[in-house]
Homo-oligomer: A and B are copies of this chain.
Amino acid sequence: MDIEQANQRAVERMTAARPILTGIGRALDTIPGMREDLLLHAGPPITWERAAGPMRGAIAGALILEGRAGSYDEAAALVESGAIALEPCHHHHAVGPMAGVIAPSMSVYSVENETHGNTAYSNLNEGYGRVLRYGAFSPEVLDRLRWMERTVAPALAAAIEASGGIDLRALLAEALHMGDEGHNRNKAGSLLFMKALAPHIARAAPDGGTAAEILEFLGGNALAVLNPIMAACKAMTEAAHGIEGSTLVTVMARNGTDFGIRVSGLGDAWFTAPVAVPEGLYFPGYAAEDAAGDIGDSTITETAGAGGFAMAGAPAIVTFVSGTPEDAVNTTLEMYEITAAEHSHWTIPQLGFRGTPTGIDIRRVVERGIAPRVNTGIAHRDAGVGQIGAGLVRPPMEMFVAALIAFADRYGI
């Protein structure tokens, strides 16, 4: 068995995948295997009992939104009773930032990989601060989500359809030349997203005032495109999954309690370990002791060769996640040490248009003792609060070691 060859095949599939945003639909009607009694969540499998504060808050908020519970305690009882099941987004070709909770009635983006035919899904982005994905579930948080479902989602759906689809690999390629890295910094990408949709929104909205409201919401949210980009990265990494003999990572995800990875040549197995707490910058009034553990599926961006791996092209991000522009360059340079290829479509002008480091090889991670670098938002540890900062974190090394041992077992090396 030629591992190098298998890895090249996997990473070529990852970068050849062309993810097109094709539409928005209700999760229940759109995501394969979605059920009325099911909530999807970020990271590897988790129970209510072991769930972190922000995950619990988001689950409670989602069940209140669905009309299944009237309060946090009712929601908790419902999940503990087993009447509502919890499954990872990743078990359903989906991804969600932070808590990543997707409920049956929520609208989700569909992103189709035109090259290989698979489709991935993500929910809509609510903006910053007190939002469901960071575990906030106060009435204004839920009201915003209801307004998004009522007003934003239908217009966005019509606009995406009228646009004929948006090539998200190309969009991110352009954004990487505009100071984004595609994970924590999506300022340019979100504006490119708005540019692509604004004319169609103006046509699709019932009136000018509604179009204006939607354009204000999109324009005011520099993370608007994060979720479509995450679904694009999921569509790309999934195309690289299941390659016999490949040691490349195709999933990195956290649920606030455990970090989990999956490896292309190791099927559906999760390799997990307790999450770390990110180091970073906090919003006024908050500090490290308030922080929840690392959480969210957004590490799919690093898995696909963007996010922290593309930080060299996004030096201004350090004002948000801490560090210096030199640290940002060094982060990308270090990631070349543990990846199988340089991306054929995503390049970094500052590095002479070198392709981003792509395709994390568990062998290199373990041999060189270098864990991937990840940019991330930081949630408050308690349910109901929300985002309190942003920073940098590395996944626990022990997952990569466990995966490598499993690989040796599986392939009799």
Give chain A's interface residues, CB within 8 Å of chain B. Answer: 177-180, 187-188, 191-192, 194-196, 198-205, 207-209, 211-213, 215-216, 219, 315-316, 318, 324-326, 349-353
Within 8 Å CB of A201, what residues of B?
A: 202
Task: Give the residue of B188, B209, B219, B324 whose beta carbon is less than 8 angstroms from that of A179.
Answer: B188
What would be 6 A-B contacts, judged by CB atoms less than 8 Å apart? A177-B179, A177-B316, A179-B179, A191-B191, A191-B194, A325-B350
Q: Can you tell how many copies of this chain the complex includes?
A: 2
* 4 interchain residue pairs of minimum CB distance: A315-B349, A191-B191, A177-B316, A199-B212
Min CB gap A34→B, angstroms: 33
Task: Give the residue of B199, B316, B352, B353 whose beta carbon is less than 8 angstroms from that of A216.
Answer: B199
- Whole-angstrom CA separation of A318 from B216 in the bound complex: 33
| Secondary structure class of chain A's binding surface, majority of residues | helix
Which of A178, A216, A318, A353 counts the most chain B CB atoms within 10 A? A178
Nearest neighbor of A199 in chain B, beta-carbon distance:
B212
Task: Give the residue of B179, B204, B211, B212 whose beta carbon is less than 8 angstroms from that of A178.
Answer: B179
Task: Give the residue of B203, B325, B326 whose beta carbon is less than 8 angstroms from that of A209.
Answer: B203
Inter-subunit contact B208/A212 (CB<8 Å): no
Nearest neighbor of A325 in chain B, beta-carbon distance:
B349
Nearest neighbor of A222 in chain B, beta-carbon distance:
B195
Inter-subunit contact B315/A350 (CB<8 Å): yes
Task: Give the residue of B196, B205, B352 whose beta carbon is less than 8 angstroms from that of A202.
Answer: B205
Nearest neighbor of A317 in chain B, beta-carbon distance:
B349
Inter-subunit contact B212/A200 (CB<8 Å): yes
Within 8 Å CB of A318, what residues of B?
A: 349
